[in-house]
Amino acid sequence: MSAVRLAVPDEVMRRIRAHGVDTYPHECCGALLGRDGDGRREVIELVPLANHRDDSPRNRFEVMADDVRLAEKMAHEKRLELVGWYHSHPDSPARPSEYDRDHAWPWYSYVIVSVQKGVACDVTSWRLQEDRARYEREEIETVAHPVGI
């Protein structure tokens, strides 16, 4: 399988990390808007969302149907695509949990920021395979500005 890459502008990366720090020790989540190109995907903007999981906001992130509609509407208005989602892992590694895999959809990029003791650490990105068997790590390429795929 060919490697997949996700281009993320510095500013978007900064905001993902800041969101994770703001909501610590709870998880943050949001949508990623951008463009999908040939073997390369670019994030241009993010849409912060509320984490609806009141029962366990520390380690459960859930995107609701309303969130998907809101994110798709914003993408459409900005002539972008909804390319993925981000969330934080408070005091856990930046790796998808079983819960994440069970609740993910193929195709989208899932960016995870690890927030250790209130400090944003590793940021990784993952894509679920079509058969849902496993996540494939997606290489994040930080760029100064949107590259315009």
Nearer to Zn ion, 97 or 116 (CB): 97
Are 41 and 34 within 8 A, CB to CB? yes
Residues forming a β-bridge with 135: 128
In the complex, the smallest distance separating the C-beta of residue 4 from Zn ion, rounded to whole angstroms, is 19
Q: How many residues bind Zn ion (CB under 5 A)?
A: 2
In the complex, the smallest distance separating the C-beta of residue 19 from Zn ion, rounded to whole angstroms, is 14
In the complex, the smallest distance separating the C-beta of residue 7 from Zn ion, rounded to whole angstroms, is 22
Q: Site residues for Zn ion, window 83-102 (CB under 5 A)?
A: 97, 100
Tell me the pairing of strands 109-116 and 81-90. parallel
Contact code string over 98-127 relative to Zn ion, x by CB under 5 A: --x---------------------------
In the complex, the smallest distance separating the C-beta of residue 58 from Zn ion, rounded to whole angstroms, is 10
Contact code string over 37-66 relative to Zn ion, x by CB under 5 A: ------------------------------
Q: What is the DSSP letter of 52?
A: -
Element (H, E) at 146: none
| Per-residue buried b or exposed e for 13-35, using 16+ beta carbons within 10 Å of the residue's own CB | bebbbebbbebbebbbbbbbbbb
Distance CA 80, CA 98 (A): 30
* Residues in touch with Zn ion (CB under 5 A): 97, 100
